[in-house]
């Protein structure tokens, strides 16, 4: 998870207390042996925090985390039907109006709804009904990964941090999930995919030989093999079903970087890996899924309230979702240039965020999931609200990427749209609205020539 998942999305959904109490491994940053400098370098989330206290995230065991989210949905009033397999969509007059599914007793059922949201992951069977899956021409990689028991911590001080080590053919990750369980994976260019045509474990071990830090942490660890049983000491009883461990074995994923040509059609929207996935290096998967869930919630609420047309609302959903995806995708293209220094990566992040803070702070903000969040600037953060108003051309013309960052900075105060023809909302709104009022406030601030955060805030308060 990223800090935005814990301190924003979890608060928004009322699940933060449950996540904090779950006992997940807390992480405060990451360590990388990546780039031209042979020594590892580290960043902490504290360096780019927008609000006090937002200095950590969690390394989550997905089986436990997903159950926690499912239980929270049930507690909020959702009806859970499982185990079930969706077998098809119900379509009427060019619109999706429900799904057909098969229950555990093999009985066929129909379930009708005003909207169907597909969050079934990269194996989605519904995504083809929305558009074509388009695979990245840049990130053409193969990943092999598995789990080890009883590893040594990479360092005693930062035991929850992710560790990434680059080598000529790709890179490897070390993600501590608990004091006794670690996720290990390697990512290599598709030109080296032949290594995985045989024994996947041997292929992973082959590439790990290029990673001295990870290799040292695994010196006394044991990989969880296909014959693992619960009695062997798995980290979580929830992770096992009838004695068989879900962590057993080595998995291989190919061509996992993609985006769907469309994210919605009338009655159906894609979120999470059903819509797109980039790369595991900065753990952006959960963040993008949560970001999409928030945007599609706003689209549905606004449509049902009659405040804007369905097309307008769902186009806003897709544009905002693609923007967040684009931030990560654009930066990762630069980050995969492994012949650069870490200062170059920081500078690339700063360019992408149009210079919010120094280069290093921009890097941390981006990999914390705060690129387009409305809380990017906070009154107590030392940044000035009026700094976002200096470049009037950028503010008024909404230049892509740089302009979106400025709009995000002002979202809490002025409720600006991300796009000049888009809808508006503030950070914690669950609906959108037409942006005319926000434009009037901005115009008033500019006409008045105000400076100082307090004066601008007072002006907005008087006019709201």
Per residue in 160-170, pLDDT (tens digit) is: 999 999 999 99
Note the Cα 364 to chain centre separation in Å. Answer: 14
Q: What is the mean pLDDT of residues 262-285?
A: 95
Neighbours of 384 (CB within 10 A): 15
Q: Kindly tell me if the per-residue pLDDT of 354 is higher than 90.
A: no
Least confident of 19-23, 210-214, 239-243: 239-243
Share of the chain above pLDDT 70, in %: 77
Residue 7 contacts by C-beta under 8 Å, 6 or more apart in sequence? Answer: 16, 51, 53, 54
Residue 205 has a pLDDT of 96
Average pLDDT, integer, range 186-210: 95
Confidence of residue 462 (pLDDT cuts 50, 70, 90): low
- What pLDDT score was predicted for residue 391? 33
Count the alpha carbons within 13 Å of 385 in the hemisphere toward its beta carbon.
24
pLDDT in tens, 47-96: 876 566 778 999 999 999 999 999 999 999 999 999 999 999 999 999 99
- On the question of pLDDT at 185 being above 60, the answer is yes
CATH topology of domain 141-254: D-Amino Acid Oxidase; Chain A, domain 2 (3.30.9)
Please say if the pLDDT value at position 309 is more than 90. Answer: yes
- What mean pLDDT is reported for the chain? 82
Percent of the chain with pLDDT over 90: 61
pTM of the model: 0.82
User: What local confidence, expressed as pLDDT, does residue 54 receive?
Assistant: 79
Cβ atoms 120, 270 nearer than 8 A: no
* Mean pLDDT computed over 218-244: 63
What's the average model confidence in pLDDT over 332-351?
Answer: 92
Alpha-carbon distance of 415 to 419, in angstroms, equals 12
Question: Per-domain residue ranges for the chain?
Answer: 141-254
């Amino acid at each position: 998870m990223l800090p935005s998942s814990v301190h924003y999305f979890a608060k928004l959904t009322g699940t933060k207390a449950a996540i904090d109490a779950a006992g997940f491994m807390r992480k405060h940053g990451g360590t990388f042996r990546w780039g031209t400098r042979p020594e590892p370098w580290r960043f902490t989330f504290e360096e780019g925090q927008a609000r006090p206290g937002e200095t950590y995230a969690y390394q989550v065991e997905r089986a436990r985390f997903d159950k926690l989210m499912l239980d929270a949905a049930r507690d909020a009033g959702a009806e859970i039907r499982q185990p079930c397999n969706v077998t098809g969509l119900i379509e009427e007059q060019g619109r999706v109006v429900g799904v057909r599914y098969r229950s555990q007793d093999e009985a066929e059922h129909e379930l009708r709804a005003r909207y169907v949201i597909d969050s079934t992951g990269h194996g989605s069977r519904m995504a083809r009904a929305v558009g074509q899956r388009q695979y990245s021409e840049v990130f053409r990689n193969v990943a092999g990964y598995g789990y080890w028991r009883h590893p040594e911590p990479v360092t005693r001080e930062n035991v929850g941090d992710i560790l990434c080590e680059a080598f000529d053919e790709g890179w490897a990750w070390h993600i501590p999930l608990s004091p006794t369980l670690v996720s290990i994976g390697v990512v290599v260019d598709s030109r080296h995919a032949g290594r995985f045509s045989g024994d996947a474990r041997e292929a992973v071990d082959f590439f790990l030989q290029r990673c001295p830090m990870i290799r040292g942490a695994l010196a006394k660890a044991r990989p969880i093999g296909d014959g693992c049983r619960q009695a062997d000491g798995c980290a979580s009883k929830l992770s096992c079903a009838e004695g068989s461990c879900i962590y057993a074995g080595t998995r291989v994923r190919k061509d996992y970087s993609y985006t769907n040509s469309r994210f919605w059609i009338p009655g159906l929207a894609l979120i999470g890996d059903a819509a797109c996935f980039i790369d595991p290096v900065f753990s952006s998967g959960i963040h993008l899924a949560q970001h999409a869930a928030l945007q599609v919630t706003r689209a549905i609420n606004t449509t049902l309230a009659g405040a804007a047309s369905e097309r307008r609302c769902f186009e806003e959903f897709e544009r905002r979702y693609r923007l967040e995806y684009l931030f990560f995708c654009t930066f990762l293209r630069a980050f995969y240039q492994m012949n650069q220094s870490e200062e170059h990566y920081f500078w690339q992040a700063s360019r992408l965020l149009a210079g919010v803070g120094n280069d290093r702070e921009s890097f941390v903000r981006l990999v914390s999931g705060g690129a387009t969040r409305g809380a990017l600037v906070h009154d107590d953060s030392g940044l000035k609200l009026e700094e976002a108003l200096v470049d009037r051309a950028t503010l008024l013309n909404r230049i892509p990427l740089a302009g979106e960052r400025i709009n995000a900075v002002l979202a809490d105060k002025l409720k600006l749209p991300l796009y000049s023809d888009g809808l508006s909302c503030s950070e914690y709104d669950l609906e959108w609205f037409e942006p005319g009022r926000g434009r009037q406030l901005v115009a008033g601030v500019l006409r008045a020539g105000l400076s100082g955060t307090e004066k601008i805030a007072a002006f907005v308060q008087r006019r709201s």
